């Protein structure tokens, strides 16, 4: 049985996106995002920090388009992973696996440039790329990203 756990986060990029390629050649980008939760009582703020992972064409487009300090809107799903440290301590983290990342246009403008999408399904760029769980760390999938046949527009 599958459950949806979609989230939308609007926040600021805390570190520049890092583009890398897994051994099969699939691009993956990771970056940090923070958003402030404002309390209705007293106006106090609490910062929340998340790691964000993007796959395939989305990974390449994000690496080219955003940088530390950018305000972004992220649509994706939560992925929980746990591991044991070298000291034997149990650790866990919740990350966002992004399906969409866009600039926030509340206090900025953006120019959109559509990228060419290669017919062979390679990583030649494109919008609306699909994402998958991080290899080896996901508790909710096969560990391999999945392809998409979805057109970006």
pLDDT digits (tens, 9 = 90+) for 46-71: 888 999 999 999 999 999 999 999 99
What is the CATH code of the structural domain delimited by 1-153? 2.40.50.140
Q: Could you give the residue ranges of the DSSP H alpha helices within the chain?
A: 56-65
Domain boundaries, the chain: 1-153
Q: Tell me how far apart the alpha carbons of residues 120 and 110 are, in angstroms, rounded to a whole number.
A: 30
Q: Structure pTM? A: 0.68
pLDDT for residue 126:
38
Query: Quick one: pLDDT at residue 118?
Result: 60
Cα–Cα distance measured from residue 87 to residue 101, given in angstroms and rounded to the nearest whole number: 36
The answer to whether residues 47 and 34 touch, using CB atoms and an 8 Å cutoff, is: yes
Q: What is the rounded average pLDDT for all residues in the chain? A: 78
**Distance between first and last Cα of the chain:** 30
User: In which element (H, E) is residue 30 found?
Assistant: strand 27-38
Percent of the chain at pLDDT > 90 equals: 50
Percent of the chain with pLDDT over 70: 74
Q: Is the pLDDT higher at 108 or at 41?
A: 108
């Amino acid at each position: 049985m599958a459950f949806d756990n979609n989230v939308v986060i609007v926040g600021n990029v805390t570190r520049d996106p890092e583009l890398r390629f897994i051994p099969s050649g699939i691009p993956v980008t990771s970056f940090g995002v923070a958003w402030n939760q404002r309390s209705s009582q007293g106006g106090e703020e609490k910062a929340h920090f998340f790691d964000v992972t993007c796959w395939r064409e989305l990974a390449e487009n994000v690496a080219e388009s955003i940088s530390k300090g950018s305000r972004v809107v992220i649509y994706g799903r939560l992925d929980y992973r746990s591991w044991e440290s070298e000291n034997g301590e149990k650790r866990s983290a919740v990350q966002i696996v992004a399906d969409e990342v866009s600039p926030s246009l509340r206090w900025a403008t953006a120019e959109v440039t559509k990228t060419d999408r290669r017919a062979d399904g390679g990583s030649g760029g494109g919008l609306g790329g699909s994402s998958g769980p991080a290899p080896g760390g996901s508790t909710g999938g096969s560990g391999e990203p999945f392809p998409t046949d979805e057109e970006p527009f």
